[in-house]
Amino acid sequence: MSPDTSSTRPSNAQLADKTLNKKVDALLAKMTLEEKVGQLVQFSSGAPTGPGTCRQGYDSMIEAGQVGALLNVADPKKANAFQRIAVEKSRLHIPLLYGFDVIHGYRTVFPVPLGMASSFDPPLVEATARMAAQEASADGIRWVFSPMVDIARDARWGRIIEGSGESPYLGSAMARAYVQGYQGTSLSNPDSVAACVKHFAAYGAVVAGRDYNAVDMSDIMLRQVYLPPYQAAIDAGAATVMSSFNSLNSVPATADPYTLTTILRKEWDFNGFVVSDWGAVGELIAHGIALDDATAAQKAISAGLDMDMESGAYHARLVSLVRTNTVPESTVDEAVRRVLRVKNALGLFDHPYVNENVTPYQATAAKRMLARRAAEESIVLLQNRATEGQPKLLPIGTHVKTIALIGPLADAPGEMLGSWGGQGNPADAISLRAALEQRMKANGGQLLYAEGTQILTQSETGFDTAKQAAQKADLVVVALGEDAPAMTGEAASRAHLDLPGNQEQLLKTIVAVGKPVVLVVFSGRPLVLNWAAQHVPAIMEAWYPGIEAGPALANILFGNTNPSGKLPVSFPRAVGQEPLYLSQFPTGRPAAGVDLSHPPTDGVEKYVSRYIDVRNSPLYPFGHGLSYTEFSYSPVTLNKNSIPLAQIMSAPNHGTAQPVIQAATTVRNTGAVAGTEIAQLYIQIRGASVEEPVRVLEGFQRVTLQPGESKHILFPLSFNELSFINVKSQRVVEPADYTVFVGGSSTATQSAKFQIVH
Ligand code: BGC
């Protein structure tokens, strides 16, 4: 546990503090309407991150006070040049705010967020975000479009890579960690950056996993599953929010007063500002709720959307909307106040410039050390079977003198940076090939390398060479997966979730050689790995591990590091199972206990909630991940069997984080090597007024144990963990039966029961 430093962290309340914001009020009083609108306008200057040609010639607009923020400027000289115009030439000298997509590192690239979530290690995530903030702020960037906290339960959606997966509990823990890392101890520190929690709201639930598609869901689902990570980020002090591209229950999020005002401002008391996603104000026309950009601007600002990123609708229309009394000036004032408060909190009025004479970036030992640790903790060992009397295949033993490394991801440093690689440089990334070559040389062995195939091709011309390499080797490592820039991230939804191109064919060819095979998968989403799961003894999910990909993987393959990552998303057996996630509802005809491996034959098997051609369960479940050691769990104990409802409901705020009951277990390392286990706690509620999921993650702890060592661990449970949303959209506890499960994955079997009673 990291020490509680919450009192020294920037808070949402500070953004509304009247004394701290005297300067803002004084400034607002002097501003013309045009200058006010200027503060609500953001344009891109640099490599565009969305459709459309970016404007040019910002100098005169900045001088006229028509631009409040820019994005995609990643050069201190350029940042200072624009800033000089804003601060020295514009009438009121208001500094610009620079935003950038710093998603998993800026120059030092860490694992993609889905990989970081696999670490189940919030302090580690915080440390990576801190480093990213330091590097980005050195380039003049004081605002990052991160964290992306959209709960994603559909592996078809390309942007699943950008978030922390399917669980609101894990997602909230990660959301807090990112915000704390970015914003540091004070927003005014020159190396702090304002976080931007995105994409608000429920973007991860787009129909059929197709990017930018609509979202339609109940308020219970919204509040129970999708909203908690955004709220956690705001409670941690996130200074800004980005609205999402999707519509939510028929209202585009960019112009949704329910999410932007009722929930965000009124319920959560958010005092920062909201920026649209790229061009999204203008997209209200395509959504069909505006026939022109004036109506689009009017609907967005009235809903609570403060800043227009890139669409130009505020720039073009907002002044006249106010002049014609279509939008009250007080609405614009409120938005401007919010933007200026964030600029003020960042200290931009006092320190608008950045040092241009910085030493060029170096991936120093300290940076690499953090990147390697993050990569190691993000890698998930999916399976590691023993074959024909042999011990488990991994870690690789000393008898292995020749390794064949095969596959299109084996020597692809650029791919290791994943999507949204910030200002990362492929030259800083170490591939698996480079790391294994060095390792084998040091061991007196040799590495044979063959690409085998490309990521997206049907050509088999490389198969023979790959086969020959495999024949000469004691062991084969096959590195397969998706092409990060083309197949993951934004605008990269897939209807097929298998290994792309003919990679599975290559794998079959190599397995047929008969040598022990380890499969390393690089992907931005869960893939369907059925064939591999049956025929390849050892499989690792590496995601995209960042600049230290190769050394981290080598450490794990050889057992210098014991893997500890756990899946933050369920891996399907078939695309047709998607959206696939642990916390499904039980239904009135649960399929539990039915062997689904055969077509249903009798009435009992037929009339249950199931598919006739695939099992309901995932191939690899949420929370799953193996180690080179084994852990045992003692039976779960509770410090009480029942809790009176009144004890919880009568406490101020229902006692929110005050523990009302505690689960305990002893975790023991029963194997031969030291290892880290991520002990997980799941809750099932039965007997409440609404149907509750079969299991929900409500706690986890990292425990590092030497062989034979054990540790007694406690999971305190408070209103936060025990409550749920009722039909009135209220977060409540009710008299109900609770079962807690504790173990090393979501299939944990150790359980204990208690009740909440009248
Ligand atoms: C993405 C955002 C990103 C923005 C700015 C959009 O296309 O959806 O996540 O922050 O571009 O680059």
Q: What is the DSSP string of 8-64?
A: GS--TGGGG-TTTTHHHHHHHHH--HHHHHHHTEEEE-SS-SSSSPPP--HHHHHHT
Reply yes or no on whether the pLDDT at 600 is more than 70.
Answer: no
How does residue 6 score in pLDDT terms, banded at 50, 70 and 90? very low
Mean pLDDT, the chain, integer: 95
Shortest-distance Cα residue to atom 4 of ligand 1:
278
Shortest-distance Cα residue to atom 10 of ligand 1:
145
* Ligand 1 nearest atom to the CA of residue 199, by list position: 9
Task: Tell which wins on pLDDT, 673 or 4.
Answer: 673
Could you tell me if the CB of 98 is within 6 A of ligand 1? Answer: no
Instruction: For residue 56, count other CB atoms closer than 10 A to its CB.
Output: 8
Summarised one tens digit per residue, pLDDT across range 25-47 is 999 999 999 999 999 999 999 88
CA distance 215 to 201: 9
Instruction: For residue 344, count other CB atoms closer than 10 A to its CB.
Output: 21
Could you tell me if the CB of 162 is within 6 A of ligand 1? Answer: no
Query: Which helix (H) or strand (E) segment is 474 a member of?
Result: none
Q: What is the pLDDT of residue 1?
A: 36
Q: Residue holding tokens 């922390």?
A: 164
Summarised one tens digit per residue, pLDDT across range 126-178 is 999 999 999 999 999 999 999 999 999 999 999 999 999 999 999 999 999 99
Could you tell me if the CB of 101 is within 6 A of ligand 1? Answer: yes
Of 83, 95, 91, which Cα lies nearest the Cα of 39?
Answer: 95
Q: What is the DSSP code (8-state) at residue 148?
A: B
% residues pLDDT > 70 (the chain): 97
* Ligand 1 nearest atom to the CA of residue 145, by list position: 10
Distance 243 CA to ligand 1 centre (A): 10
Could you tell me if the CB of 278 is within 6 A of ligand 1? Answer: yes
Mean pLDDT of 72-99: 97
Beta strand 247-248 with 642-644 is unpaired
Mean pLDDT of 559-574: 98
* Ligand 1 nearest atom to the CA of residue 198, by list position: 9
Question: Residue 83 in contact with residue 353, Cβ under 8 Å?
Answer: yes
Summarised one tens digit per residue, pLDDT across range 616-653 is 999 999 999 999 999 999 999 999 999 999 999 888 78
Taking each helix axis from N to C end, the angle separating 122-137 and 365-378, rounded to the nearest 10 degrees, works out to 140
Could you tell me if the CB of 490 is within 6 A of ligand 1? Answer: yes
Bridge partners (DSSP) of residue 480 are 521
Distance 205 CA to ligand 1 centre (A): 17
Q: What's the token pair of residue 289?
A: 């709720």
- Identified catalytic residue from 101, 235, 277, 308: 277
Could you tell me if the CB of 145 is within 6 A of ligand 1? Answer: yes
CA distance 420 to 415: 11
Distance 161 CA to ligand 1 centre (A): 14
* Ligand 1 nearest atom to the CA of residue 50, by list position: 7
Reply yes or no on whether the pLDDT at 669 is more than 70.
Answer: yes
How does residue 594 score in pLDDT terms, banded at 50, 70 and 90? low
Contacts of residue 274, defined as CB under 8 A and 6 or more positions apart, other chains included, come to 200, 240, 241, 242, 243, 260, 264, 304, 305, 306, 307, 338
Distance 6 CA to ligand 1 centre (A): 29
Task: Tell which wins on pLDDT, 517 or 7.
Answer: 517
How does residue 55 score in pLDDT terms, banded at 50, 70 and 90? confident
Q: What is the pLDDT of residue 606?
A: 81
What's phi and psi for 716, nearest 5 deg?
-75, 135
Mean pLDDT of 236-254: 98
* Ligand 1 nearest atom to the CA of residue 49, by list position: 12
101 assigned to active site = no
> What's the alpha-carbon Rg for the chain, to the nearest Å?
26
Shortest-distance Cα residue to atom 8 of ligand 1:
277
Substitution candidate for ligand 1 out of 42, 43, 45, 49 with most atoms within 8 A of CB: 49
* Ligand 1 nearest atom to the CA of residue 245, by list position: 8
Mean pLDDT of 283-299: 98
Question: Residue 97 in contact with residue 348, Cβ under 8 Å?
Answer: yes
Could you tell me if the CB of 49 is within 6 A of ligand 1? Answer: yes
CA distance 223 to 249: 14
Distance 309 CA to ligand 1 centre (A): 9
Reply yes or no on whether the pLDDT at 111 is more than 80.
Answer: yes
Summarised one tens digit per residue, pLDDT across range 302-312 is 999 999 999 99
Shortest-distance Cα residue to atom 12 of ligand 1:
49
Contacts of residue 360, defined as CB under 8 A and 6 or more positions apart, other chains included, come to none
Distance 167 CA to ligand 1 centre (A): 23
Q: What is the pLDDT of residue 431?
A: 98
Instruction: For residue 366, count other CB atoms closer than 10 A to its CB.
Output: 10
Substitution candidate for ligand 1 out of 45, 277, 311, 419 with most atoms within 8 A of CB: 277
Distance 209 CA to ligand 1 centre (A): 18
b/e map of 4-38 (b: 16 or more CB within 10 Å)? eeeeebbbbebbbeeeebeebeebbeebeeebbbb
Could you tell me if the CB of 50 is within 6 A of ligand 1? Answer: yes
Contacts of residue 45, defined as CB under 8 A and 6 or more positions apart, other chains included, come to 54, 58, 70, 71, 72, 73, 78, 82
Reply yes or no on whether the pLDDT at 603 is more than 90.
Answer: no
Q: What's the token pair of residue 566?
A: 């756990």
Summarised one tens digit per residue, pLDDT across range 462-490 is 999 999 999 999 999 999 999 999 999 99
Summarised one tens digit per residue, pLDDT across range 610-621 is 988 888 999 999
Of 328, 333, 207, 322, which Cα lies nearest the Cα of 273?
Answer: 333
Of 503, 532, 542, 536, which Cα lies nearest the Cα of 384?
Answer: 536
Q: What is the pLDDT of residue 8?
A: 81
* Ligand 1 nearest atom to the CA of residue 242, by list position: 10
Q: What is the pLDDT of residue 604?
A: 58
Q: What is the pLDDT of residue 4?
A: 44
Mean pLDDT of 64-88: 97
Instruction: For residue 574, count other CB atoms closer than 10 A to its CB.
Output: 16
Distance 323 CA to ligand 1 centre (A): 31
Distance 218 CA to ligand 1 centre (A): 26
CA distance 202 to 638: 35
Q: What is the pLDDT of residue 3?
A: 41
% residues pLDDT > 90 (the chain): 90
Q: What is the pLDDT of residue 56?
A: 79
Could you tell me if the CB of 143 is within 6 A of ligand 1? Answer: no
